[in-house]
Amino acid sequence: MLWLLLLPLPLPALGAVEKTLGIAPHLVSKYVPSRSNTWTCLDGLKEIPWDYVNDDSCDCADGSDEPGTGACPNQSFYCQNEGHIGSFIPSSRVRDGLCEPNCCDGSDERPGVCNNVCQEVGQAYKTKAAEETKIRKTQGSKIRSTYITYAHKEKKRLEEVIETSAAQITTQEKEVARLRDIAERAESLSAAALEMKQQSPLYTSLITHSNALKSLQREHKKHLQREKELSNILDALRSGYNPNYQDMAVLEAVRGWEEIAGLPHINDVGKDSVSDEEAGVEEDTVPDVAQTKEEVEDEMWSAEELENDLDDLLNSDYISLLLEHDEYVQSPPEGSVLFDIASYLPDAIVPQYEEFKETILSLLVSFGIIKSEISSSTGTSLDTSRSRQVLTDAENELNKVKKEKENAENDLKEIFNIHGYGLEGEWKKLDGTCLRTENGDYTYEVCLFGEAKQIPNKGGSTFSLGKFASWDPSPDVKPGEEAYYQKQIYNRGARCWNGPERNVVLLLSCGTENTLNSVVELEKCEYQFTGTTPALCRPLDSFEGRNGKKSQAGKDEL
Ligand code: MAN
């Protein structure tokens, strides 16, 4: 009965293959049946029985149900090539009877058609790759060493910047202190000069006049009020007294008031049809005594002007007037030959004349015959604001140098920082270097330590794919190790519609050039870039790092 065991086992449906055959590693996790043994096409548009996956019949519009048979057109088939390197081939070459060189495991054809030659191919590849790696590393490490030299030069330059700016700061601080002293002295000097000007007889007399006018105005207002009240009393007396009492004192008072106010006698009002109205007097109205015409001298103010304009006059800014006056009396009369002699002299002797004038003026000042400009003209306030401005400019310059020093100190800290430009500063040279590659509808760009972008080739908006965030953040990788610098993270890019913010993982390996080789969007808006750089080509002979530990420089990259 043993022969029964040798019989071939019943095959699944003709053409059907293992469910996981041909699936790219990053998609393997998506090929799992549901509880009811169904499966949803990768585009999410159709649910099919799990048995339909890799059954050699195309069921999904996106062709995702046939990763391993070539039944759906325009798909990619993944050969695992265990022992070597996995690779993709077009699905049209699956089961075409030809052994694909890229599929050394023979998985592209039915079992038994092609031999699995991955061990041999893998070994040969490794040997060749090791040789190439050796050359690459040797050349790459030479370039890398120029990067390190650059970092040291940059360090030196920054140290010099720090040193010079420190010296500049010391000098500039002294200069600021000196200018502050000048500004403060100019300000107190100008206060003293003003105080002196205020003592001039003209100014003190002006202030006395102003005070006298203010007092007069105050008294005048009081009198007007008093007069109003008195005229009310007299009006009441005039209209309310009883003439039958024959009180002469009252009659005299009423007649007197009528005369001053220009009113008809109260007893005559109505008698011979002369009314107050006819007499030009309105009922309940106090006659305007002030309306009496009086002679007003030229330049004197009328009652109306006194009423309307006196307040404005008394509110004048006397200090400004004083300074204007001072400037006015200092300035030479227009067209005065005396004050503009220089313009009448031949050019050749103007300098001697100016020198002579200065000497005479300073002599006159020192003998007290004239006052020096600083204490006698309005130039004091101008000088004050000028010295303040000079001080502010000097303070701004000081802050600028301080900022320069601070930036240089921060840059210096980053150069040999394991989290920054690497233990040996080998990455500093690449700060801001931009790498590009075209892929489908887009050109992808990454500016190292800056920003990654997706630029449409046929117009449209460029998306930010994120800014540099860190080296490999995985806890298994230690900062400073070679592996740490093989991955950069760029995040917080433009947000996807209904999705996450775009981000990039940049995988780097040693290469003689800085290049961006490939871009894949692994998940929606999550991009994986691969590239090369000499910065990762550590010398082949093991390298003693600063911490004394051996690096993994010689480790095979495959
Ligand atoms: C754009 C590109 C794509 C991305 C979609 C998401 O078309 O950024 O890479 O997948 O937006 O909506």
- Ligand 1 centroid–CA 496 distance in Å is 7
Who contacts 198 (Cβ-Cβ below 8 Å, separation ≥6)? 204, 319, 322
**Residue ID of nearest Cα to ligand 1 atom 11:** 496
Query: How do 76-79 and 503-510 pair as beta strands?
Result: unpaired
- Write down the number of H helices and E strands in the chain: 9, 12
Atom of ligand 1 nearest to the CA of 524: 10
Q: How far is CA 550 from CA 176, 222, 538, 546, 557, in A?
A: 53, 103, 12, 10, 17
Give distance in angstroms: CA of 497 to centre of ligand 1.
8
Query: Which of 463, 495, 523, 526 should be mutated for ligand 1, with most atoms under 8 A from CB?
Result: 463
Q: H-type helices in 291-442, by residue range? A: 303-314, 318-330, 350-366, 373-376, 379-415
Question: Strand pairing partners for 487?
Answer: 507
Place of tokens 């065991």: 5
495 Cβ closer than 6 Å to some ligand 1 atom: no
The alpha-helical segments, DSSP class H, found in 241-288 are 248-261
In Å, how far are 147, 234, 456 from 464, measured between CA atoms? 28, 93, 12
For residue 19, what are its two tokens?
Answer: 């469910």
Where does residue 467 rank: exposed (0-12), middle (13-18), buried (19+ CB within 10 A)? middle
Residue 197: per-residue pLDDT? 83
Mutate which of 525, 526, 528 for ligand 1 pocket (most atoms within 8 A of beta carbon): 525
CB 149 within 8 A of CB 155: no
Q: What pLDDT score does 368 carry? A: 63
CATH number of 432-556: 2.70.130.10
Give the distance (Å) from ligand 1 centre to CA of residue 156.
45
Q: How far is the centre of ligand 1, averaged over its atoms, from the C-alpha of 461 (Å)?
A: 11
- Ligand 1 binding pocket includes 442 (Cβ within 6 Å): no
**Residue 524 near ligand 1, beta carbon < 6 Å:** yes
Give every CB contact of residue 79 below 8 A, 6+ residues apart in sequence.
22, 86, 87, 88, 89, 100, 102, 103, 104, 105, 107, 108
Cα 92 from Cα 108, distance rounded (Å): 10
Other beta carbons less than 10 A from residue 125's beta carbon: 16
Please name the residue that has the structure tokens 């103007």: 350
Pair 91, 103: CB distance under 8 Å: no
Cα(145)–Cα(151) distance, rounded to whole angstroms? 10
Instruction: Identify the pLDDT of residue 517.
Output: 96
Predicted confidence pLDDT, tens digits, the chain (558 residues): 344 344 343 334 445 678 889 999 999 999 999 999 999 999 999 999 999 999 999 999 999 999 999 899 989 999 999 999 999 998 999 999 999 999 999 999 998 999 999 999 999 988 887 877 787 778 999 999 999 999 999 999 999 999 999 999 999 999 999 889 888 877 876 788 888 888 889 999 999 999 999 999 999 999 999 999 999 999 999 888 887 888 888 888 988 998 988 888 887 776 654 444 444 444 444 445 444 556 667 788 888 888 889 998 998 878 778 877 877 887 666 555 555 677 777 777 777 777 787 777 777 766 666 665 544 444 556 567 777 888 999 999 999 999 999 999 999 999 999 999 998 999 999 999 999 999 989 999 999 999 999 999 999 999 999 999 999 999 999 998 989 999 999 999 999 998 899 999 999 998 999 999 999 998 899 999 999 999 999 886 644 443 334 443 333 332
Tell me the domain boundaries of the chain: 11-116, 335-371, 432-556
| Host H or E run for residue 532 | strand 526-533
Nearest Cα residue to atom 2 of ligand 1: 525
Distance (Å) of CA 131 to CA 136, 405, 465 = 8, 47, 36
Alpha-carbon torsion, ordered 127, 129, 134, 139, to 10 deg: 160
Q: Residue with the nearest Cα to atom 4 of ligand 1?
A: 525
358 alpha-carbon distance from chain centroid: 52
Nearest CA to 490 out of 507, 503, 471 is that of 503
CB 56, CB 92: distance < 8 Å: no
> Can you spell out the DSSP letters for 60-109?
STTSTT-TTT--STT-EEEE--TTS--EEEEGGGTTSSS--TT-TT-TTS
In sequence order, the 6+-apart residues with CB closer than 8 A to the CB of 413 are 420
| Cβ of residue 504 lying under 6 Å from some atom of ligand 1 | no
Query: Is the CB of 403 within 6 Å of ligand 1?
Result: no
The rounded distance, in Å, linking the Cα atoms of 442 and 436 is: 10
Our mutation pick for probing the ligand 1 site, out of 439, 461, 524, 527, counting the most ligand atoms within 8 A of Cβ, is 524
Distance between CA atoms of residues 322 and 195, nearest Å: 11
